[in-house]
Structure 1
Amino acid sequence: MSEGRSGRQGSASLHIAVVLLVAAAGAVETVSFLGLDHVFAGVMTSNLALLGMAAGRGEAVDVTAALLALAGFGVGALIVAWCTRGQTTPMIHWHRRVMLFLYAEAALLAVGALVWGSAGGAPGGTLRDVMQFGAGLAMGTQSAAMVAAGRAAAPTTYLTGTLATHIAKGVSTGRPGVWVPLRFVGLVAGAATSAVLLEEAPPWAALPPVVLILCAIGSASVPLVARRPGSAARRG
């Protein structure tokens, strides 16, 4: 019974971690869109559409920000995919390499928050471009890390497919579940938090994603701690 209970607790901890990562992504998107150059750091569909619209209109539109976000996202996803290829993806916890890349993402965003704060919440010129690339890099890292985590995780930077799947499964089974709606709540809450800070305290607007990712790492670490030798004996 204790193993079953610990398994349920581990599953809930991973669900909570996913919600927190979604909230972090929402906060990053807010800073990227409202605070940088009106492009998204993790929603590449929108950035590709922006490039298409610029090409279709035949106007001299600056697409540097969209290209930087795309490049950063691609680099982050490529690095994680390369380093996690061939690993197993257990259902009960996230692989240590996945956790390592989440730590790397938190560190990257922490540096970005420090730079953002030092610039008074209004970086300009080359610094702005570097931060746009860095935001895309962070979101690409997070997205690929969740892919590497397999069925023990879920998408955290794009939720269109998640919404469609949730509606379809809810209609077909009559049991839609609670965790997917909580991801949507997390996305809105994370975005709203950074939006408020952009208005009221701009230098602090880039900090919420760092805090949220660290909290997600803490929650995702619960199953790993429970698996350590002697943990069952201590619970007993």
Structure 2
Amino acid sequence: MTGFDHPERRPGLLGAVTVVLTAAAGAIDVVTYFAFNQVFASTMTGNLVLLGLGVGQGEWEQVLDNVCAIAGYCGGLVVGTLVCGVAMRRLPWRNAVGVALTVELVLLVAVGLYWWGVDDGSVIAQAKVVVLVVGAGLAMGIQAAAMRYIGPAGTPTSFLSGTVTNWVSSLVELHTPFAWNWNSPLRIGVIVVAAAGNAVVQRQIPDLAFAAPILLVLLAMVMMARVTRANHGGLVAGEPQFAPVPGAAVPDAEPSKPAVPAEPAEPAEPAEGSAPAGVGRLLGRVIDQGGEPRPAAVTLVDMAGRQVHRTHTETDGRFDVRPPESGQFVLICTPHRMGGGAHRPRAMMVAVDGVAVTHEVVLGAT
């Protein structure tokens, strides 16, 4: 199902990235299917079934082929997750996805150069197909790991059984309002079209078949760069926190009300993870113009751009942010995306100096 965790200025383009990468997965599966005993670089369900079939029939060459493909893909998942994790220490998640796609592209180009450049009569030609399948599996694993950070829309770009299940079921659900979703059928259709097109290339000009997934991943990188550039405002380093199940549309943010001293509270025992003594706390509510609470992610960023605290509002719109130290910070309230168009975060400067203060953030349509 299509859905994004954060407000987007280009949600359609972000969804298109998943469609293009799905086409890349379909195109590269065709190459490995013909080159290496009918195994897939990205579709692990098929490889697992073939692995079991090989074990059951005692075809150990088939078993070895599928183990190579599965090991390559799992290795790519590890690499992709580590790349995104390291990148998100300093970059927003969209940039981290772009970094992972860059690693995937470099790997595909390297495998392609090896595939095209090695003479079939040379000594290292014996490992040519193994390098192709393991390298392609690594690339698809990196892609799958990176797409997890796009959210529900980005998760399946190769294993589409869940996409088919969710989309077809959503067409006939009686307990929810009908809403047409273009992203899922596009991904379902494009993987078939890409596989068919590259099968024709594989039959007519085999040496060019591996160029198709490389060009498609390059196109996805260009599109992801546009998404990142369009959404640079208000983003901080770190992984996105996915929003809960939507209930109603959240409007764009209006300027927040000035900070006022919080009402005195009864002394309480210090809770685990509470702010250091003498630092103070940031309390508040996120509401709409009618005074109703609205769900949002609340992030505190220091003046060096580092995320120092992140939480979500309670059901009544209240939040409790615990700064690690006194000083100036940026408080960012990001309304959860709950249908409709794009919504902007609300950012404001706050001062923390040993006294608890309350910030009431009012959201409203622009």
- TM-score, normalised on structure 1? 0.83
Runs of 4+ in structure 1 deviating by more than 4 angstroms, as ranges, are: 85-88, 119-124
- Match of residue 219 from structure 2: 215
Counterpart CA distance in 2 for 1:174 and 1:166 is 11
Deviation at 1:177, TM superposition (A): 1.5
Counterpart CA distance in 1 for 2:66 and 2:29 is 13
**Does residue 1:15 correspond to 2:19, yes or no?**
no
Structure 2: gaps of 5 or more residues: 1-6, 234-366
**Does residue 1:78 correspond to 2:81, yes or no?**
no
Counterpart CA distance in 2 for 1:228 and 1:62 is 48
**Does residue 1:196 correspond to 2:200, yes or no?**
yes
- Match of residue 186 from structure 1: 190
Deviation at 1:207, TM superposition (A): 0.3
Deviation at 1:152, TM superposition (A): 5.7
More moved, 55-64 vs 189-198: 55-64
CA separation of 1:59/1:212 partners in 2, compared to 1, >3 Å: closer, same or farther? Answer: closer
Counterpart CA distance in 1 for 2:58 and 2:36 is 24
**Does residue 1:54 correspond to 2:58, yes or no?**
no
**Does residue 1:156 correspond to 2:157, yes or no?**
yes
Deviation at 1:84, TM superposition (A): 3.2
- Match of residue 254 from structure 2: none
Counterpart CA distance in 2 for 1:206 and 1:178 is 28
Deviation at 1:63, TM superposition (A): 2.1
CA separation of 1:36/1:119 partners in 2, compared to 1, >3 Å: closer, same or farther? Answer: farther
Letter in structure 2 aligned against 1:68:
C
RMSD of equivalent CA atoms? 2.6
Task: Provide, for residues 123-142 of structure 1, a one-character-per-residue CA deviation record: whole Å limited to 9, x for no partner.
Answer: 95211111111011111111
CA separation of 1:59/1:133 partners in 2, compared to 1, >3 Å: closer, same or farther? Answer: closer
Deviation at 1:67, TM superposition (A): 0.8
**Does residue 1:115 correspond to 2:136, yes or no?**
no
CA separation of 1:197/1:118 partners in 2, compared to 1, >3 Å: closer, same or farther? Answer: farther
Deviation at 1:121, TM superposition (A): 9.8
Deviation at 1:81, TM superposition (A): 2.1
Structure number with greater CO (CA < 8 Å, separation at least 6) is: 1
- Match of residue 99 from structure 2: 100
More moved, 151-160 vs 212-221: 151-160
- The DSSP-based 3-state class of the residue aligned with 2:36 is helix
- Match of residue 228 from structure 2: 224
Letter in structure 2 aligned against 1:79:
V
More moved, 189-198 vs 203-212: 189-198
Counterpart CA distance in 1 for 2:224 and 2:153 is 10
CA separation of 1:171/1:144 partners in 2, compared to 1, >3 Å: closer, same or farther? Answer: same
Task: Provide, for residues 148-189 of structure 1, a one-character-per-residue CA deviation record: whole Å limited to 9, x for no partner.
Answer: 332462310110111000011121143231111111222122
- Match of residue 45 from structure 2: 45
Letter in structure 1 aligned against 2:191:
L
CA separation of 1:121/1:28 partners in 2, compared to 1, >3 Å: closer, same or farther? Answer: farther
- TM-score, normalised on structure 2? 0.55
CA separation of 1:76/1:218 partners in 2, compared to 1, >3 Å: closer, same or farther? Answer: same
CA separation of 1:94/1:116 partners in 2, compared to 1, >3 Å: closer, same or farther? Answer: same
CA separation of 1:11/1:120 partners in 2, compared to 1, >3 Å: closer, same or farther? Answer: farther
Letter in structure 1 aligned against 2:114:
V
Deviation at 1:61, TM superposition (A): 4.1
Task: Provide, for residues 52-106 of structure 1, a one-character-per-residue CA deviation record: whole Å limited to 9, x for no partner.
Answer: 1122223444422211111111111012223434959xxxx85212111111111
